[in-house]
Chains A and B, each alone.
Chain A
Amino acid sequence: MAQDQVLHTESKNNESQKPKQGMFERGILRQAVIDSFIKLNPLTMMKNPVMFVVEIGTLLTLLMALAPGFFGAEGRVGYNFTIFLILFFTVCFANFAEALAEGRGKAQADSLKKTKADTQARKLDDKGKETLVSSTELRKGDMVLVQSGDLVPGDGEISEGLASIDESAITGESAPVIKEAGGDFSSVTGGTKVVSDWIKVRITTDPGESFLDRMISLVEGAARQKTPNEIALNTLLITLTIIFLMVVVSLPPIASYVGVKLELSTLIALLVCLIPTTIGALLSAIGIAGMDRVTRFNVLAMSGKAVEAAGDINTMILDKTGTITYGNRMASEFVPVGKRGEEEVREAAVLASLKDETPEGRSVLTLANEQGVVIDPAPYVEAEFIPFAAETRMSGMDLSGQSWRKGAVDAIKGFVTQQGGVVPESLDSETTRIAEMGGTPLAVAVDKEILGIIYLKDTVKPGMRERFEQLRRMGIRTVMCTGDNPLTAATIANEAGVDDFIAESTPEDKIRVIREEQAKGKLVAMTGDGTNDAPALAQADVGIAMNSGTVAAKEAANMVDLDSDPSKIIDVVGIGKQLLMTRGALTTFSIANDVAKYFAIVPAMFTLAIPEMKTLNFMALQSPTSAILSALIFNAIIIPLLIPLAMKGITYRPMPAVKLLRRNLLIYGLGGVIVPFIAIKGIDIILGVFL
């Protein structure tokens, strides 16, 4: 099941937090239509040379329709005007694709900007005197006081105090988080709200450079720079355009030798059909949408380059705690000691945990449940619950003179010896065994007898094994880093199915591993949150910092996960791959389309002068005019038809590259050859009704 699971680009919890934004929401759509006309400005169009060529063709055909005398095209006003219209729409469709992609980002940015509304800040001077200033006047190094109910005026580090902060404006997560001075949870983000207590914050950014500012400009696409791969692809697309320009320009003199006069508008039509307009129109939309998919996933990528690099990752370095395992310890086994059996231990453990609401306590009940014990709390309603306390280091239940306890082995030992009980001999050996395996033993006692031990173990999050399996199929090696001893590390590594692990690791180990991998030419991704992770985050090709982490970590990373869920790195890789695949698939499709367009236009161009050319009209298109228009119309409407694909990205299932290539070649390569034949024929039949 899980093996065929598609990597979804939007996590479930994310969808529930934010209202789902439809791709074609009316407001965005309307704005995109307006923008697609604004973008007709040649200065804007020049940034996209392929479409700029189309725009020039559009202008020329318009002139020919308006001033036919000048071009010697008097009898062809209708034809030229039709071509002008189709070309005009081709350019608009391309602009629309880009505008739509940008629009979706802008909508997000607008909601962010609301939080950015000018706030008042309580600035403190050296002597601690408070003055009210506008948040825009704050500079790096200023000290401000933020009290309950205030918005944090800018990014900074808490220098004094502790407060719970609502970060929903940034993360969408409504539960407040506790931040305090010192340590890894001392950074605050401008625009978030202090909901209780107070903090003194040292501002770390100047206006316009804050996290919120960067986030707005990123989602808006204002800061969007073409990624390296996009630049390279653009070079190729421009070259193909130049080549086809040469093809078309050289045709009239050559054709004139055999007395064939070629109309300018037909030549423009041929040129537009041959140059890679489909990918040219959608290229930037694919890039923007790719970034947008990452953002929607609540990960903030600082550059498109980082998203692209994510697709190329060879090695992934993951922290054990929090990423692979829950970090808290769960009951995994009931171990009897002395003469007692497992069932008795289990029963006692259940009773000792019946009213225990700690994760450990709940996990005892869960484990017992899994082992087939049906728990009926009814007989124990009257019981008195003994909660866990730091002094006693145990918890349990008293009922009708009997007491059940579970807790630290030493504490329970004390508990039974106090009542004159004896510690069973096998207790110590079992305790040592569990500790060596990295587990935590909890002893269980009833009155003065120790029955056994609950083996608490760090548990691997469900589904991690399958995800690592997926990563392996993508060719990505996973390395787990943990502070645990080698034995514990090996146990967890084996259970989770990671390829390698580093036990007793220090932050320096991470940098060392990253450097070693990079020296072999590999690209490395990692997550981190602490200040001591910052160098490794900076060294990694893709470093994802947790939003809950320190400013230093966030500065060093090239992505920030607003949900602070380190396992999302795996999905980010999927998004990166999807982005690259979409780009490749549409390029292949666009180039493959040329075959059919050639077969439609080339015979049509020459048939008037060379009647024998009609033999080449394999598609049996009705007339030369209809053939040319059909090809041109197909060339135009394929752009909006592919917008959803460009935005969503093509489906990506983790599988070996060979299979992926074969699959995509069939769909987009072979499909790219066949589809236009059918579509052009279809358009020709429809045109026949009108012409």
Chain B
Amino acid sequence: MGSALIQYTVIIILLILIAIPLGRYIASIFSNENHRTDRFFLPMEKVIFRLSGIDNRLEMTWWEYVKALLLVNGILLGFAYLILRFQGGLPLNPNGITNMDPTSVFNTAISFMTNTDLQHYSGESGLSNLSQIIVITMMMFTSSVTGLSVAMAFIRGITRKGKTIGNFFQDFVRGHIRLMLPLAILLTLMLVAAGVPQTLDANTTVQTLEGAKQVIARGPVASLESIKHLGTNGGGFFGANSAHPFENPTALTNILEILAMWSIPAAMPIAYGRIAKNPKQGWVIFGGMMAIFLMMLLTVHLAESAGNPALVERGFDSSQGSMEGKETRFGISMSAIFTAVTTAATTGTVNNMHDTLTPIGGMVPLMLMMFNTVFGGEGVGFVNMMMYALLGVFIAGLMVGRTPEFLGKKIESREMKFIVLALLSHPLAILIPTAIAFLTPLGMGAISNEGFHGITQVLYEFTSSSANNGSGFEGLGDATPFWNISTGVVMLIGRYISIIALLAVAGSLANKQPVPETIGTLRTDNATFGVVLTGTVLLIGALTFLPVLVLGPIAEFLSIG
């Protein structure tokens, strides 16, 4: 525990050290403030705006913003569909990969457009280099910047007074030019330095010591790896994802990857505090996220350290913890925190097989995705947390004897209608499809485990899809039309319903005249509100899923112990 504690502490301190300046920088980008980097970035932006003909960047209402967002996402989706569908005949295909089948393309295109990166294929055998670069890597950028733009538009809506919440095209371009591309380049170089391959050459074939022939898959790994984490995407170059030694060779790259996927989500509350001109507002949100994260991290750490209960009972040595499905170069603690971060920030990259986590250990990533708000995916995780903040204010705010207000804006019936739509979408997209999967032979056929573990497999697949996480519990035979289509639809619901609904909330709040704060106002920048927020997430977010968790991981834990 001692060394693990040091590792965790160091990583979290590093995270905070990165998140503070990063949050401020993000705030400056999207507030369109002058920045010393303008000299460098402005000319690039000008070229892009000129070329794309969006010179006239008027402020948009929430609905215009949503329309622009859906338009851009829709075009990218169609583009991705075509490339994947016809990759066999397109250039940059040194390994002679064939076209993808229609339902797999449906699933994969949606998966990458929604920042989910659920992979029902194995990268090394399913995608050409063109697909890896143009579809996978590019959409990793666009989907994360889409999420980021949503968060920024939302923050604008709740902090400003007016009809508009920004211009999507401008946010989209600036998010790429000023944030994602520079960071991705930086991280790619660091990863290459640490030993991650980056090449456009074909796979090589080597002769092993036994004389057998082995094909070593390679490709533009480092560049994909960097944006995969930075953009909380998670889709690996290889099927084994970040457990593969080319994706994540050392403990150092492991920490780099953890920080890469965690930093932007952790910087969002800080950016928000800065734009709201009250840093404490942001720190309360950050604190609420961190509190739940630590609870979850502790749980997975303890569960994995204790070893597999079934083996412990039979007298096996468990001093190393449960190492099944984990890489020896990472060990328990580096696997545990990776698992927690990848599901908290809904990235979905894995450095160990979540299927082989102990039952309670495996429940942690599941729960973090069910919360979908503990840091959460790029931008959207923060916006989801703000949804809980609004809900918390709505319920607890009444207890100070005023109708609820957040940042001085009243939360009324119209906002509530949109908030509950977002609230509803997540359990809807998880529970109902899970139930349907168990009702149909098509769904049942894919389950590779008997009993409770089988329930967890299915639940995990849909939870991961709805939370736009993309990690797999693996073992599920999910490359079938049933799973391709069902998870595809779930990913769309999980992504766009809450985005649209919460932008509507922001648009509606932007229209309201803020009420000045008095001593009688519920403050949202103190510890008490932190408790309200955490309590709301735990009570409303977690209680919903308790019965299925009891039937899955908890029952499994009880029955093997």
- With A312-B403, A581-B401, A665-B532 already in contact, the answer to whether A521 and B515 are too (CB < 8 A) is yes
- With A242-B424, A256-B438 already in contact, the answer to whether A610 and B559 are too (CB < 8 A) is yes
Whether, in the assembled complex, B439 has its beta carbon less than 8 Å from a beta carbon of chain A, the answer is yes
With a CB–CB cut-off of 8 A, which chain B residues contact A240?
Answer: 540
Query: Which residues of A, 268-320, contact B by the 8 Å Cβ criterion?
Result: 270, 274, 308, 311-312, 314
Whether, in the assembled complex, A389 has its beta carbon less than 8 Å from a beta carbon of chain B, the answer is no
The closest CB in chain A to the CB of B403 belongs to A229
- With A250-B432, A657-B523 already in contact, the answer to whether A598 and B546 are too (CB < 8 A) is yes
Query: Which residues of A, 570-620, contact B by the 8 Å Cβ criterion?
Result: 576-578, 580-581, 583-585, 587-588, 591-592, 594-595, 598, 602-603, 606, 610, 612-613, 615-616
20 contacts between A and B (CB under 8 A): A231-B413, A233-B394, A235-B416, A236-B416, A243-B424, A247-B431, A250-B432, A251-B551, A254-B459, A257-B444, A312-B515, A473-B519, A473-B520, A521-B516, A576-B401, A581-B400, A581-B401, A584-B395, A584-B400, A610-B559
Partner of A312, one of B394, B402, B416, B545: B402
A interface majority secondary structure: helix
A236 touches B535 (CB 8 A): no
Partner of B516, one of A314, A652, A669: A314
Query: Which residues of B, 520-559, contact A by the 8 Å Cβ criterion?
Result: 520-523, 526, 528, 531-532, 535, 539-540, 543-548, 550-551, 554-555, 558-559
A612 touches B555 (CB 8 A): yes
| Chain B nearest Cβ from A497, distance in angstroms | 16
Which of A253, A473, A594, A603 neighbours the largest number of chain B CB atoms within 10 Å of its CB? A253
B423 touches A243 (CB 8 A): yes
- With A308-B403, A658-B523, A661-B396 already in contact, the answer to whether A250 and B548 are too (CB < 8 A) is yes
A247 touches B558 (CB 8 A): no
- With A246-B432, A668-B399 already in contact, the answer to whether A228 and B551 are too (CB < 8 A) is no
Whether, in the assembled complex, A671 has its beta carbon less than 8 Å from a beta carbon of chain B, the answer is no
Partner of A606, one of B394, B424, B551: B551
B431 touches A592 (CB 8 A): no
With a CB–CB cut-off of 8 A, which chain A residues contact B521?
Answer: 475, 657
Whether, in the assembled complex, B408 has its beta carbon less than 8 Å from a beta carbon of chain A, the answer is yes
B520 touches A588 (CB 8 A): no
With a CB–CB cut-off of 8 A, which chain B residues contact A257?
Answer: 438, 444, 447, 454-455
A258 to B528, CA, bound (A): 43
B491-521 CB mask vs A (1 if < 8 Å, else 0) is 0000000000000000000001111101111
With a CB–CB cut-off of 8 A, which chain B residues contact A3?
Answer: none
A657 touches B413 (CB 8 A): no
A595 to B401, CA, bound (A): 26
B514 touches A521 (CB 8 A): yes
With a CB–CB cut-off of 8 A, which chain B residues contact A577?
Answer: 401-402
With a CB–CB cut-off of 8 A, which chain A residues contact B428?
Answer: 246
Whether, in the assembled complex, B434 has its beta carbon less than 8 Å from a beta carbon of chain A, the answer is yes
B558 touches A580 (CB 8 A): no
Partner of A613, one of B391, B436, B516, B555: B555
B539 touches A594 (CB 8 A): yes
B interface majority secondary structure: helix
Whether, in the assembled complex, B364 has its beta carbon less than 8 Å from a beta carbon of chain A, the answer is no
Whether, in the assembled complex, B417 has its beta carbon less than 8 Å from a beta carbon of chain A, the answer is yes
B400 touches A254 (CB 8 A): no
8 tightest Cβ-Cβ pairs between the two chains A and B: A584-B398, A475-B520, A577-B401, A475-B518, A250-B435, A239-B420, A612-B558, A584-B399
Whether, in the assembled complex, B377 has its beta carbon less than 8 Å from a beta carbon of chain A, the answer is no
A656 touches B520 (CB 8 A): yes
Which of A233, A257, A311, A588 neighbours the largest number of chain B CB atoms within 10 Å of its CB? A257
- With A254-B551, A308-B403, A602-B547 already in contact, the answer to whether A474 and B520 are too (CB < 8 A) is yes
Query: Which residues of A, 223-250, contact B by the 8 Å Cβ criterion?
Result: 228-229, 231-233, 235-236, 238-240, 242-244, 246-250
B416 touches A246 (CB 8 A): no
A246 to B444, CA, bound (A): 20
Partner of B399, one of A248, A254, A595, A660: A660
B408 touches A235 (CB 8 A): no
| Chain A nearest Cβ from B329, distance in angstroms | 36
Whether, in the assembled complex, B313 has its beta carbon less than 8 Å from a beta carbon of chain A, the answer is no
| Chain B nearest Cβ from A294, distance in angstroms | 15
With a CB–CB cut-off of 8 A, which chain B residues contact A270?
Answer: 547
With a CB–CB cut-off of 8 A, which chain A residues contact B417?
Answer: 235
Which of B401, B402, B413, B535 neighbours the largest number of chain A CB atoms within 10 Å of its CB? B401
With a CB–CB cut-off of 8 A, which chain B residues contact A314?
Answer: 515-516, 518
B434 touches A250 (CB 8 A): yes
Whether, in the assembled complex, B451 has its beta carbon less than 8 Å from a beta carbon of chain A, the answer is yes
Partner of A658, one of B413, B444, B516, B526: B526
Partner of A652, one of B401, B420, B532: B401
A232 touches B416 (CB 8 A): yes
Which of B398, B432, B459 neighbours the largest number of chain A CB atoms within 10 Å of its CB? B398
A244 to B546, CA, bound (A): 11
Query: Which residues of B, 383-425, contact A by the 8 Å Cβ criterion?
Result: 391, 394-404, 408, 411-413, 415-417, 419-420, 423-424
A654-668 CB mask vs B (1 if < 8 Å, else 0) is 001110111011001
A576 to B526, CA, bound (A): 26
| Chain B nearest Cβ from A258, distance in angstroms | 5
Given A258-B451, A581-B399, 10 other A-B residues pairs in contact with their CB atoms under 8 A: A247-B545, A251-B547, A253-B435, A256-B438, A312-B515, A581-B398, A657-B520, A657-B522, A658-B523, A665-B528
With a CB–CB cut-off of 8 A, which chain B residues contact A523?
Answer: 515
A228 to B417, CA, bound (A): 12
| Chain A nearest Cβ from B139, distance in angstroms | 31
Total CB contacts across the A-B interface at under 8 A = 215
A640-660 CB mask vs B (1 if < 8 Å, else 0) is 000000000000100011101
A251 to B447, CA, bound (A): 18
With a CB–CB cut-off of 8 A, which chain B residues contact A477?
Answer: 518
- With A246-B431, A661-B522 already in contact, the answer to whether A616 and B399 are too (CB < 8 A) is no
Whether, in the assembled complex, B49 has its beta carbon less than 8 Å from a beta carbon of chain A, the answer is no
A521 to B528, CA, bound (A): 25
A611 to B306, CA, bound (A): 24
Whether, in the assembled complex, B452 has its beta carbon less than 8 Å from a beta carbon of chain A, the answer is yes
With a CB–CB cut-off of 8 A, which chain B residues contact A476?
Answer: 518, 520
B555 touches A610 (CB 8 A): yes
A349 to B522, CA, bound (A): 55
Whether, in the assembled complex, A255 has its beta carbon less than 8 Å from a beta carbon of chain B, the answer is yes
With a CB–CB cut-off of 8 A, which chain B residues contact A236?
Answer: 391, 394-395, 416, 419-420
Whether, in the assembled complex, B331 has its beta carbon less than 8 Å from a beta carbon of chain A, the answer is no
A583 touches B558 (CB 8 A): no
Whether, in the assembled complex, B427 has its beta carbon less than 8 Å from a beta carbon of chain A, the answer is yes
B543 touches A229 (CB 8 A): no
A580 to B394, CA, bound (A): 11
- With A250-B548, A253-B439 already in contact, the answer to whether A239 and B558 are too (CB < 8 A) is no
| Chain A nearest Cβ from B547, distance in angstroms | 6
Which of A228, A584, A656 neighbours the largest number of chain B CB atoms within 10 Å of its CB? A584
| Chain B nearest Cβ from A50, distance in angstroms | 14
Partner of B544, one of A243, A254, A256, A660: A243
| Chain B nearest Cβ from A465, distance in angstroms | 18
Whether, in the assembled complex, A127 has its beta carbon less than 8 Å from a beta carbon of chain B, the answer is no
A665 touches B396 (CB 8 A): yes
A308 to B548, CA, bound (A): 40
A248 to B551, CA, bound (A): 13
| Chain B nearest Cβ from A381, distance in angstroms | 58
Partner of A235, one of B396, B413, B539: B413
A584 to B526, CA, bound (A): 20
| Chain B nearest Cβ from A643, distance in angstroms | 19
With a CB–CB cut-off of 8 A, which chain B residues contact A515?
Answer: none
Whether, in the assembled complex, A20 has its beta carbon less than 8 Å from a beta carbon of chain B, the answer is no
| Chain A nearest Cβ from B469, distance in angstroms | 20
A234 to B432, CA, bound (A): 24
Whether, in the assembled complex, A63 has its beta carbon less than 8 Å from a beta carbon of chain B, the answer is no
| Chain A nearest Cβ from B443, distance in angstroms | 10
Whether, in the assembled complex, A39 has its beta carbon less than 8 Å from a beta carbon of chain B, the answer is no
B408 touches A521 (CB 8 A): yes
